Amino acid sequence: MSKTKDIRQAVESELTFDPLVDATDIKVVNMNGEVALNGTVPSYPQYLEAAAAAQRVDGVKNVHNHLEVVLSAADSRDDPTLTTAANNALILNVTVPVGVEATAHNGNIKLTGTVSYGTERTAAELTVGALTGVRNVNDDIEISNDAETVDVALNVQDALDRYALVPDDSDVAVDTSGNTVTLSGHVRTWAEHDAVVDAAWMTGGVYDVHDELYISG
């Protein structure tokens, strides 16, 4: 059996195994570890979880999530109702700074405002993404922090040195241009990849992270 077929079947099995995903209408395509997910899912959390499930599979280097969220009539919400629900959820989440706002249009949520850290932006995305009636989340939140560029690079590298998931002999390189961090090098697994990217986003003064990491397996 070819490696191409192995990975595709393994991803299909993982999607079926994951209780948070209805894989009935998902089609998996694999090309040398580049996995594409096509088809439909009934909610935005399932859209995210399907990609996460595929990333867990050995041999998967990248996941291209082309799934479309098709809401049932019972789960659909009009724009005013969903906008209100999203903004109320943001207000109730203590990890989301005051000033982040949401606007809904046909199930698509647009987030605006300013935060200090990438983790706060992620918290806002996850908060509204979990609501009934959401088809997609467009994050236009800006990150503003006065940290010096040299501090950004050192702090990201220090975080990587502390992380148990990142081996001591890792060749991951951290480059900065202004307050933008570019990550390059090799990681073994998606878990290691996510640990590296999260470390960068958690660092004060990081406005953007360019992910050029290669998953070697």
Kindly report the pTM of this predicted structure. 0.77
- 3-state SS record for the chain: CCHHHHHHHHHHHHHHHCCCCCCCCEEEEEECCEEEEEEEECCHHHHHHHHHHHHCCCCCCEEEECCEECCCHHHCCCHHHHHHHHHHHHHHCCCCCCCCEEEEECCEEEEECEECCHHHHHHHHHHHHCCCCCCEEEECCEECCCCCHHHHHHHHHHHHHHCCCCCCCCCCEEEEECCEEEEEEEECCHHHHHHHHHHHHCCCCCCEEEEEEEECC
> Could you tell me the residue ranges of all domains in the chain?
3-69, 77-143, 149-215
Looking at domain 149-215, its CATH architecture is 2-Layer Sandwich (3.30)
Q: What is 3-69's CATH number, 3.40.350.10, 3.50.50.60, 3.40.50.300, 3.30.1340.30?
A: 3.30.1340.30
pLDDT in tens, 182-195: 999 999 888 888 88
The whole-number pLDDT of residue 118 equals 82
pLDDT in tens, 142-190: 887 665 666 777 888 888 888 877 888 888 888 888 778 899 999 988 8
Is-same-fold flag (77-143; 149-215)?
yes
Fold classified for 77-143: Histidine-containing Protein; Chain: A; (3.30.1340)
